[in-house]
Amino acid sequence: RPHVGVLALQGDVREHVAVLRALDAEVSLVRRPEELAAIDGLVLPGGESSVIDKLSRSFGMRDPIIAAREAGMPMYGTCAGLILLADQILDGIAGQRTFGGLDVVVRRNAFGSQVDSFETDLEVPKLGAPQVHAVFIRAPLVEEVGERAEVVASLDDGRVVAVRQGALLGTSFHPEVTGETRFHELFLRAVRAAA
């Protein structure tokens, strides 16, 4: 039974915990560096990436998270979590940093105010049928995908909204709020493979 953590500094932590528990994972909330040592995978929730960035520094979590990621710990980030996993961010607040790991450039709050939030059905080849009902809430877009990263899902117009690189997975949208479990299953598969 995989033991995974959800970074619980800010954001939609409980939604992720519910999905992961429904998939029979053992789930811990992670706020301290020593709590990282007990887990085999980490979810970075949706929320506000600049706040999670700041809190990760004041809780002494930034460097331990980067070290865990560099040591191969599987991680899954949704929305703000995707931003945190990106190597480069556009339209961050002044001084905003990411943990990095995904060879991509993301633009924070990339959808204009008229479509601040929207829902759509996505074809995700890796997951097959049915399509993914995707909820976007002040979502980021993946504007550039580097050589090491792989596109997992795009909007009809080709804009990239989900990527994967090794044991890292990121989605602009929030499967944790719609009952969609397949992205968390991919994450748990990576956790089992790494453990």
User: Among all residues, which ones are annotated catalytic?
Assistant: 79, 174, 176
User: What angle (nearest 5°) sits at the alpha carbon of residue 132, between those of residues 124 and 8?
Assistant: 105
Q: What is the DSSP letter of 155?
A: -
Rule CB under 6 A: say whether 184 interacts with ligand GLN. no
- Annotated binding-site ranges for L-glutamine: 47-49, 108, 137-138
Rule CB under 6 A: say whether 39 interacts with ligand GLN. no
Which residues have a Cβ under 8 Å from the Cβ of 69 and sit 6 or more positions away? 75, 99, 100, 101, 168
Minimum distance from residue 194 beta carbon to ligand GLN (Å): 25
Answer for which of 16, 62, 107, 108 binds ligand GLN (CB under 6 A) is: 108
Rule CB under 6 A: say whether 97 interacts with ligand GLN. no
Nearest-angstrom CA–CA distance, 78 and 47: 9
- Containing H/E element for 60? none
Q: What is the token pair recorded at 157?
A: 């117009």
Task: Return the number of the residue (40 or 102) whose C-beta is nearest ligand GLN.
Answer: 102
Distances (CA, A) of 34 to 56, 85, 97: 14, 21, 22
Rule CB under 6 A: say whether 165 interacts with ligand GLN. no
Answer for which of 13, 73, 80, 160 binds ligand GLN (CB under 6 A) is: 80
Task: Return the number of the residue (109 or 178) whose C-beta is nearest ligand GLN.
Answer: 109
Residues of the shown chain interacting with ligand GLN in the complex, contacts defined by CB under 6 A: 46-49, 79-80, 83, 108-109, 137-138
